[in-house]
Amino acid sequence: MTQLDAVHASSSREQTMSRRPAAREEARPRVLVVEDDPSLAVMLRYNLEKLGYQVEEAADGQEALLRVAESAPDLLLLDWMLPSLSGIEVCRQIRRRPQTRDLPIIMLTARTEEQDSIRGLNTGADDYITKPFGMEALAARVRALLRRAQPQASGLRQFADIVLDGTEHRVQRAGRPVHLGPTEYRLLEFLMQHPRRVFSREDLLNAVWGADIHVEARTVDVHIRRLRKALNAPGEVDVVRTVRTAGYALDLEPV
């Protein structure tokens, strides 16, 4: 028992890093309400909390950006008209930063404001709803957006200093961008789904190429080599472990 625990403990070090997005997922989704009218804000908070969301508030555009940056909510409910910084401007700034590019935003607009101009103008919002609105309508939009956004969150995979962004199809190692061909990308993607685990060439062919495609087993070697070449900068440890007669694994310890 003690031994097993020891092994687990030593090997779970990196896992805690890669588990971060999952930990947040467990909690209720957090909605940031940006609304300068206090009575409306209170109403929104009340209803959203009843629906099971955590609610944070911001009264103007400046505060909104601040809160988005530091508490990374899962969804933004954004009033169109705001003091200090208009809703459109907030939207634009949020879209500009890579960390918040995919944050779902719902705009709250007054009926008088022309909907066409909102729709036509590229605000960057994902959805909008005109005031006054019913709570069911809002709830439906919130649910839909959160559901859509969810996979994006888990599209991010991390192992050691390697980050694979599934939605952007992008790979980094130690912050530096890494260019991979399509096959190498899928290969890495698959290996990152089961870090440390050893896969035979046949496993990899099935998973990366497809079960019904016939390709020489040795071809895997070549792609592993290309993956290594792209991933390992001079001086860095090789992240691909070769296990003789067994296959390959994504791993730090070469032995």
Partner DNA sequence: GGCATGGTGTCATCGAACTGTCATCCAACT
Partner DNA sequence: AGTTGGATGACAGTTCGATGACACCATGCC
Euclidean distance between CA atoms 108 and 101, whole angstroms: 19
- 115 forms part of the interface with its own copies (CB under 8 A): no
Ranges within 165-224 binding DNA (CB under 7 A): 179, 181-184, 209, 213-216, 218-219, 221-224
Q: Which does 228 bind (CB under 5 to 8 A by kind): its own copies, DNA, none?
A: DNA
- Residues 161/174, Cβ–Cβ less than 8 Å: yes
- 27 forms part of the interface with its own copies (CB under 8 A): no
Residues found near its own copies in the complex (CB under 8 A): 3-4, 6-8, 10-11, 88-89, 92, 119-124, 126-127, 134, 136-137, 140-141, 143-144, 147-148, 150-151, 154-156, 158, 161, 163, 165-170, 172, 175, 177, 179, 181-182, 186, 196-198, 200-203, 206-207, 211-212, 216-218, 243-246, 249, 251, 253, 255
Residues found near DNA in the complex (CB under 7 A): 179, 181-184, 209, 213-216, 218-219, 221-226, 228, 242, 244-247
